[in-house]
Chain A
Amino acid sequence: MASLTLDKVTKSFGAVEVIPGVDLDIKDGEFVVFVGPSGCGKSTLLRLIAGLEDVSDGDIRIEGDSVVSIPAADRGVAMVFQSYALYPHMTVRENLSFGLENIRMAKPEITRRVTEAATLLQIEQLLERRPKQLSGGQRQRVAIGRAITRDPKIFLFDEPLSNLDAELRVMMRVEITKLHERLGNTMIYVTHDQIEAMTMADKIVVLRKGVIEQVGAPLDLYNHPRNLFVAGFIGSPRMNFVEGRIEALGEHTITFAADGLPPLVLDGAVEGAATGAPVTLGVRPEDFLVSHAAEKGWPATVSIAEQYGASSYLHCTLPGDRPVLIHEPGQSKAGRGDVIHVAPPAGRWHLFDAEGLALGNPRLS
């Protein structure tokens, strides 16, 4: 078990700078998820920590000791690969013990560790099989088991669930979380799936183009995104954005205006708001209040109404051809062509300035 510190870590492949400089502290026993769109450098960052790539500059410290010049095998980390990387010609048992044999561990100890890991992951009856004879979920368990037998300080997971079908993914998500609770090791988990990040992480690190956009607990990121990117990336379906300006500032209200839209009075106040400033208003689909008759809020024309049974998603268009997605609990009565009126309730909205940074959080009086 160990803490991990990234200190101004940079990585370039030739002239291409993949990671321009990352600082990060991970505490002992934390489950940290690196999330971001593909190509954001999250996998590279993980491989730098693993020691599969060399850092171009900066320092990586495990338990306070620099590991940048230590080969991957000796860093005390174990990795679960995206493709599992099980040795296809070896049985499950041989897969689990190969690394231990390489360090000439005593036979009884190897057997003990393999049995222990197999029991923990409930793969005892698969030990004599080869990877080809296993299902996707079983391979996943073996890959995790291989990491466990090495008794690492830090577990690294590189998109481990991306090759599983949706149902299995939900199951393995729960299992990995349970495993973390049981083992208590530091775990770093890379994914592009923000749902995995939200459901599993103690701490989420949102990355874009090699830069950390925000670090925080899942709900912190959801409730208080630091910028447009995080706001758009965390949460599904994605937040609606409308560009406009601040027309008037009240004591506890802000009036937001956009071309072609009736001015909208937002309950709550933010710091740093100035009259006339160009801003982007963000409202999550589930935050809109829908009224079918009242004239309050923006008129939205329903183009498609998706009925999920327990809830409904209305794909609408605001004046000025702005698409907007609205979540309505229960079964919606709206149909194609209907005009509904929508507005966010007090405090359930986000304002971002011209640079895309959030204008603080709405404070209610």
Chain B
Amino acid sequence: MTEASMTKTDMSVSAFLMRRRGRGRFHWTDGLTYAYLLLGLVVMFVPVLWVVVSSFKTPANLAEFPPTILPFSAETAVVEGFDEPLPLFDVVGEDGETVRLAQIRRVGIQAQMIDPADPEAGRIVVPVENATPVRRVYLAFENYTNLLASSGNQIWRYVFNSLFITVVATVITLVMNSMAAFALSKYRFRGSNVALVSILATLMIPATVVLVPTYMIVAQLGLVGNLWGVILPTVATPTGVFLLRQYMLTIPDELIEAARMDHASEWRIFWRIILPLSSPALAVVAIFSILSRWNDFLLPLVVLNRRESYTLQLALASFQTEYGIQYEILLAMTTLTALPLACAFIFLQRYITTGIASTGIK
């Protein structure tokens, strides 16, 4: 199907989907490409969607197997003589007629039912396979309110800890990295290469390899269980220095000379000229920093040993063991933890992807 053969009026949905940007005929490889991309869409996106949907299910709904696609909740009815509301079932009687009954209890493959409209008629015993629950779509927001309540508002503590670490570490990282990058890109001085190499060499040292001594130094500084014990070891990111330096190299030296002739001090040159002009690179470094701080796990796991200093990630991981059975709360918390980054991602996608591309390719 070529573009030329299509008129505006008969452009069907499939034609729209299959149409390619450029001119040319639709090739079989295009079909394969779209098939692959759609498969990717399912594999990449559906799991997360599934968690979000599941987090709105009631515990009873979560326990069902096979799971329902949408969150359902059973319809209930208040029946005279029973304190609790009873779940409603559509029961197919022996005569083939369907009646709506309330279930009192289930015994094996039999269930005791009662007619909510006529409770005086007494209990009816029905085989389970004849009864289907009456349900409607229901978003269990109480999972989220319960999460906040059951943790005794501890959750706000975790959110604060995560936010504090993320924001403070990112601000310090940005200022320190850009200062170092400024020195390494805009000055010629003895020792600059040694400094650059020793900063970049730390790229080669995986954080896990130096976990024990890092913990020791944090302990020596008296920062175990303290949020600063997670912030400080991570602020001197070599990638940040590298990215910013590469960017600052592209800022013409003449600007600095002009500023110097304009009586600007070195700090003022840095603060008023170089930093504003580096904002694209700063944004990329900031995004990286926010991402890795917010998601960091191993270092907080080792350093933050007190419950009140837990980050969201630590709390989430510990919920898994403590609330192992309470899936509805775990799922709600998983969704909450992923939410801020999901929002950030929507706004910053272009920056993140170009940033990653530029670090990889250089």
Contacts and interface: CB of A to CB of B under 8 A. Distances in A.
Instruction: Assess A/B contact in the complex (Cβ within 8 A).
Output: yes
A348 B277 CA distance: 57
A73 B254 contact: no
- Point out which of B255, B257, B260, B268 has the most chain A C-beta atoms below 10 A from its C-beta: B257
A356 interface: no
- Point out which of B257, B258, B264 has the most chain A C-beta atoms below 10 A from its C-beta: B258
B262 A99 contact: yes
A162 to B, nearest CB: 13
A171 to B, nearest CB: 23
A88 interface: yes
A12 to B, nearest CB: 15
Interface string B166-210: 000000000000000000000000000000000000000000000
Interface stretch (A59-67, A76-84, A202-210, A331-339): A76-84
- Point out which of B262, B273, B276 has the most chain A C-beta atoms below 10 A from its C-beta: B262
B276 A81 contact: no
Interface string B258-299: 111111110010001100110000000000000000000000
Nearest to A78: B261
A83 B261 contact: no
B254 A102 contact: no
B81 interface: no
A87 B272 CA distance: 10
Interface string A139-183: 000000010001000000000000000000000000000000000
Contacts of B257: 50, 52, 72, 79, 81, 85
A232 B252 CA distance: 34
Given A81-B257, A82-B254, A102 B262 contact: yes
A251 B272 CA distance: 73
Nearest to A52: B257
A107 interface: no
A72 B266 CA distance: 13
Contact of B252 (A78, A79, A85, A103): A85
Given A85-B252, A85-B254, A88-B277, A98 B261 contact: no
Interface residues of A, number: 23
B263 A102 contact: yes
Contact of B273 (A50, A74, A87): A87
Contacts of A146: 258, 262
Nearest to A104: B263
Interface in A291-350: none
Nearest to B265: A102
B311 to A, nearest CB: 36
Contact of A102 (B252, B264, B276, B277): B264
Nearest to B261: A72
Given A85-B252, A87-B259, A98-B264, 19 more contacts: A50-B261, A51-B261, A52-B261, A73-B263, A77-B261, A79-B258, A81-B257, A81-B258, A83-B254, A85-B257, A87-B255, A87-B258, A87-B273, A89-B277, A98-B272, A99-B262, A99-B263, A99-B264, A150-B262
Interface of B: 252, 254-255, 257-265, 268, 272-273, 276-277
25 contacts: A50-B261, A51-B261, A52-B257, A72-B257, A72-B260, A72-B261, A73-B261, A73-B264, A77-B261, A79-B257, A79-B258, A79-B261, A81-B254, A82-B254, A83-B254, A85-B254, A87-B258, A88-B277, A89-B276, A89-B277, A99-B261, A99-B262, A102-B265, A146-B262, A150-B262
